[in-house]
Amino acid sequence: MINSAFYNKVLLENSELSKIAEKVIQNERITDADCLQLFEHGSLAFVGALANHVREQKHGDITYFNRNFHIEPTNVCVFSCAFCSYSRLYAHKEEGWELSIDQMLDIVKSYDEKPVTEVHIVGGVHPKMNMAYFIELISKIKNHRPDLHIKAFTAVELDYMFRKAKLSTREGLEQLKAAGLQSLPGGGAELFHPDIRKVIAGDKVSGEGWLEIHETAHQLGMHSNATMLYGHMETYEHRIDHMRKLRDLQDRTKGFNTFIPLKFRNANNDMSHISESSTNEDLRLYAISRIYLDNFPHIKAYWPMLGRQNAQLTLSFGVNDIDGTIDDSTKIYSMAGSEEQTPTMTTEELVTLIKQANKKAVERDTLYQVINEF
Ligand code: V47
Ligand code: SF4
């Protein structure tokens, strides 16, 4: 329960905020207008205390992590998102990399003796890597290590693959699922609102298209995550629009596991003139998303993008998942300006990070089944 001195102070100071606090404590859903109040008038202390209350109701002091590794098939991409520091246009592909299926299988095999539970496969949209290529990749990984959960392909990659193969979303997902694909990562969502999307990611799948792919995946029994790229040119209303679309879809399908806010990093991209958001604003967003997305089981801080110290802070502001050990050769985050140049943390480091925030560290698999408690 929220500290009563604090609650009285809020009651005296702002009756709108106190009504929102009352709703949250009574487990009532907050409206878009309430959410705007929180963004405009909720102090970090206020939204943090409410979000922590929700987090404790849902998960107590448990903080999840998993043991995973990432594979990036290529950084060559046919699209040209303004915030992207990582991709190389197909026309400049000599500056990029493309891995063969054998090279990717070798990466998987390098984990043969290690207790990882998930492989996360996401990359640029290469015009030559098509359905047949990815079906072969997924089947070979499954064949080699059937217990490894395959979480792969953003809706952006899938939309391109399916259109090229002249398949409907359902047909495409059914084929990939039959090959061994088990869930979808949350990337590519960026900001759904068309006014922002057309500026920052105008040539790839629309917000509606992203949502349709995730809805279909959920209908086929696959789980997925959702991201939101924030802290660039969007208003609070745009953030709320994005989260409302996710909350509505989750009401219909219950297929999302996790919401992952992604802080815009401004190095080496076409939006470098935009300042990055402050830590105060980052933490307020994490907290407000925890309060607004009442039907999302988990809120995740993606530490390679946020930095491990700030990711640790989010654990007191509604976050109950800190992603994985990652063990990554990816350059996407360091190239975009994250202080995490080599995103890998050992299990011991992750557990320490969680315990230092007075939380309980629990290793999970992709679907949040408990594997180990620390
Ligand atoms: O969609 C690209 C983002 C995303 C920048 O589902 C940037 O478990 C900030 O979605 N500043 C891909 N963000 C990563 C992603 C993800 C990562 C980890 C786990 C999961 C999951 C999903 O990275 C892209 C884009 O939104 N991104 N450039 C940048 N400059
Ligand atoms: Fe391509 Fe993804 Fe970068 Fe956009 S964000 S340019 S789709 S790799």
Q: Count CA atoms closer than 13 A to 254's CA, side-chain side.
A: 2
Give the residue, by CA position, lying nearest to ligand 1 atom 16. Answer: 187
Residue 157 CB neighbours (<10 A): 27
Q: Count CA atoms closer than 13 A to 154's CA, side-chain side.
A: 21
- The mean pLDDT value of the chain amounts to 92
Do 32 and 83 belong together in one domain?
Answer: no
112-142 tens-digit pLDDT: 999 999 999 999 999 999 999 999 999 999 9
Do 54 and 163 belong together in one domain?
Answer: no
13 pLDDT band (50/70/90 cuts)?
Answer: low
Q: Which atom of ligand 1 is nearest to the CA of 266?
A: 30
Do 73 and 46 belong together in one domain?
Answer: no
Q: What is the pLDDT of residue 346?
A: 83
* pLDDT at residue 167 greater than cutoff 80: yes
pTM: 0.94
257-285 tens-digit pLDDT: 999 999 999 998 999 999 999 999 999 99
Phi and psi of 131, rounded to 5°? Answer: -50, -50
Do 20 and 111 belong together in one domain?
Answer: no
Query: How many Å apart are CA 332 and CA 339, to the nearest integer?
Result: 12
6 pLDDT band (50/70/90 cuts)?
Answer: low
Per-residue DSSP letters for 355-370? HHTT-EEEEE-TT--E
Give the residue, by CA position, lying nearest to ligand 2 atom 2. Answer: 124
Do 190 and 249 belong together in one domain?
Answer: yes
| C-beta of 124 in contact with ligand 1 (< 6 A) | no
| C-beta of 336 in contact with ligand 1 (< 6 A) | yes
Instruction: For the chain, give the percent of residues with pLDDT over 70.
Output: 90
Do 14 and 89 belong together in one domain?
Answer: no
Do 254 and 294 belong together in one domain?
Answer: yes
105 pLDDT band (50/70/90 cuts)?
Answer: very high
| C-beta of 180 in contact with ligand 1 (< 6 A) | no
Looking at 37, 58, 79, the residue that finishes a domain is: 58
Distance 39 CA to ligand 1 centre (A): 23
Distance 11 CA to ligand 1 centre (A): 38
Q: Which residues, at least 6 apart from 248, have a Cβ–Cβ distance to it below 8 Å? A: none
Do 262 and 224 belong together in one domain?
Answer: yes
Indicate the pairing of strand 88-89 with strand 76-77.
parallel
Do 103 and 47 belong together in one domain?
Answer: no
Query: How many Å apart are CA 10 and CA 115, to the nearest integer?
Result: 47
Do 164 and 142 belong together in one domain?
Answer: yes
User: Residue ranges of the alpha helices (H) in 180-317?
Assistant: 194-200, 207-219, 236-253, 279-292, 303-306, 308-314
Element (H or E) spanning 68, and its range? Answer: strand 68-71
Which DSSP state fits 274?
S
210-236 tens-digit pLDDT: 999 999 999 999 999 999 999 999 999
Distance 219 CA to ligand 2 centre (A): 26
- When pLDDT is averaged across residues 320-335 and rounded to a whole number, the result is 70
- When pLDDT is averaged across residues 312-322 and rounded to a whole number, the result is 97
* pLDDT at residue 26 greater than cutoff 80: yes
29 pLDDT band (50/70/90 cuts)?
Answer: very high
For residue 311, give its domain range. 62-373
Q: How many domains does the chain have?
A: 2
CATH number of the domain encompassing residue 218 = 3.20.20.70
Element (H or E) spanning 63, and its range? Answer: strand 62-66
Do 295 and 167 belong together in one domain?
Answer: yes
Q: Decide which of 11 and 82 is more confident.
A: 82
Q: What is the pLDDT of residue 329?
A: 52
Q: What is the pLDDT of residue 344?
A: 75
Looking at 58, 82, 104, the residue that finishes a domain is: 58
Q: What is the pLDDT of residue 14?
A: 73
Looking at 39, 58, 77, the residue that finishes a domain is: 58
Do 19 and 75 belong together in one domain?
Answer: no
Q: What is the pLDDT of residue 8?
A: 59
Pocket test residue of 87, 92, 333 for ligand 2, highest count of atoms within 8 A of CB:
87
